[in-house]
Amino acid sequence: FGVCWSGMLLRPSRATPSFFSRWFTTTNKLFLSKVRPVVQNGGTGGDVLRKVARPFEDEEITTDETRKLTKMMREVMLQNDGVGLAAPQIGLSKRVFVAQMELDGVEVEGIQSLPFTVFFNPKLTPLGEKKFENAEGCLSVEEGSLMGLVDRHHKVQVKFQNEEGKHKTMVAEGFFAGLVQHEYDHLNGILFTDHEVKYEDFTPSVNSLLGSFRYE
């Protein structure tokens, strides 16, 4: 509970000017069946996790194909009990990630619920020097159940475009800062295991979710 658990990887395909038509033809077939994660160094497709993803053009963001993409990302994320998912994890080397962390009507002091949010072409800037240990896990590493503590910036600013293509600015602290840093790393070919990770035994608790976010 309280881990930045970042989703699963489907079979990749190359991004082209008409990449969605080919990508969805392959991915929809896989998505409707029992899909096993493909991981870094674990077989076909792992190389997409090590690429720097390409940005979306403004006109791409509001297409029906992109809406289908983000809907699929949400479903994959939730099916795997995740709170975030980046496009490279479903085989698409494009700069978008999704996030959602809701407490199902439960109110806990110091914890906000984040409704489903899509981050196109995000740009992340650390705010201040303060760091904290964030509990993280990811199905895109070879040991899918591996969890550890990663030093992350406690406060960050992320500028992005939403599903309507509008420019937004979010300031995130604590849990939410760790979440967006984890997903942003995926867009740059970085896994959480690339950081200095503490793999000592620990039990994530509700305190792992302490944090806040606001829009500027």
Active-site residue flag, 143? no
User: What pLDDT shows up at residue 39?
Assistant: 52
Low-confidence ranges of the chain (pLDDT < 70): 1-46, 105-108, 142-145, 201-206
User: What pLDDT shows up at residue 121?
Assistant: 99
CA separation for the pair 101, 88 (Å, rounded): 20
pLDDT digits (tens, 9 = 90+) for 27-80: 554 444 434 444 555 444 568 889 999 999 999 999 999 999 999 889 888 888
The tokens describing 5, both together, are: 């658990």
Task: Please identify which of the residues 109, 183, 200, 216 carries the catalytic annotation.
Answer: 183
Q: Diameter of the chain by CA atoms?
A: 47
CA separation for the pair 184, 100 (Å, rounded): 15
Domains and CATH numbers, the chain: 4-215 (3.90.45.10)
Does the pTM of the predicted model rise above 0.85?
no
Could you tell me which of 47, 33, 49 has the C-alpha nearest to residue 87? 49
